[in-house]
Structure 1
């Protein structure tokens, strides 16, 4: 909460590297906010082949559908009431809530965005991840880019950006894939002195 009001966040997480590409904060998040965030991200990273989303109204808008169609991006919707369909981002959101949202008292949306951006930097660049062989998401992404095959590099150059690997049914396929989900946030503690270690 900020100023006694709820805030919402949009989290965008790379499915392979576990990098948090963005966390957008707002009193409400509509489809146009999602598209603005995706436009900023794709300007730096290129368009993914797939974006896994939940069934929130911000993801099922006609504008989102049109954006995905125009950029050749598949929207992969999780089944309603099935958080295991998007387990990586649900796990991320749990860590985000525990390590950041529950650790701060936000004075305003700008204050919330600033503290959340600090935590996102900490998460990507300092905090090791057990599923990444105890590397940070940034280290893992760097190592993966350096070890990419020439064919993979050519594929991603043609798509205009970096890549990630998605696993389905026990096999791995190389393709860009992001997980993304909106989450309603409610404060439960009042610690204003938290700083990333």
Structure 2
């Protein structure tokens, strides 16, 4: 996946909850996410560590570049020290430039259009269940034109297991 393997981490506020997700720029897989009443540096640090573990990158020399906005959870001491401890390069985009986080912004747009706008959440539990189900749908059944019309998990498995030819991405 190249020397500049990139993942994006973003936290988005909704009336009942906050969603923080981490996406692989190459295959559009939401590697992991946090849904909660708060979205703090400790949550971002744990999420990053879990994502690296899931992608088997925790103990490798080549680490991804993590790109975030300048939210308080991403400029926190705990998140920065976790990035350093994990040897992960942390890039922060300049303020008011969401286009530099286009992949995660696109996912949030899909989530808004296909999930949030179709459901009224009556409780945190209801929101958690619905969003978890939608993310599962996105990962396993949502077809991406940029991924040869495959869902993210299928594309990722084809790249890893069957060696389909990788393509260049612009970040």
> Normalised by the shorter chain, which TM-score bucket?
0.7 to 0.9
Question: What residue number does 1:87 align with?
Answer: 102
Superposition TM-score, scaled by structure 2 size: 0.79
Question: What residue number does 1:155 align with?
Answer: none
Question: What residue number does 1:185 align with?
Answer: none
* 140-149 or 75-84, which deviates more: 140-149
Contact in 1 for aligned 2:16/2:124 (Cα 8 Å): no
Going from structure 1 to structure 2, the CA distance change for 1:33 and 1:166 (only over 3 Å counts) comes to: farther
Superposition TM-score, scaled by structure 1 size: 0.70
Distance (whole Å) between structure 2 residues aligned to residue 88 and residue 80 of structure 1: 17
Question: What residue number does 1:192 align with?
Answer: none
What whole-Å deviation, never above 9, does each CA across 1:66-102 have from its counterpart, x for those lacking one? 0000111011111110111111111111111111122
What whole-Å deviation, never above 9, does each CA across 1:109-160 have from its counterpart, x for those lacking one? 23212211111110010110011111110111011112449xxxxxxxxxxx
Question: What residue number does 1:74 align with?
Answer: 89
Q: Which has the higher contact order (CA 8 A, sep 6+)?
A: 1
The one of 27, 39, 42 equivalent to 2:37 is 27
**Unmatched 5+ stretches in structure 1:** 150-163, 170-197
Distance (whole Å) between structure 2 residues aligned to residue 8 and residue 84 of structure 1: 21
Question: What residue number does 1:103 align with?
Answer: 118
Contact in 1 for aligned 2:41/2:72 (Cα 8 Å): yes
**Does 1:40 pair with 2:50?**
yes
Distance (whole Å) between structure 2 residues aligned to residue 42 and residue 95 of structure 1: 24
Shift of 1:104: 1.7
Going from structure 1 to structure 2, the CA distance change for 1:146 and 1:5 (only over 3 Å counts) comes to: closer
Distance (whole Å) between structure 1 residues aligned to residue 46 and residue 38 of structure 2: 14
Shift of 1:36: 2.3
Contact in 2 for aligned 1:50/1:73 (Cα 8 Å): yes
The one of 141, 144, 154 equivalent to 1:129 is 144
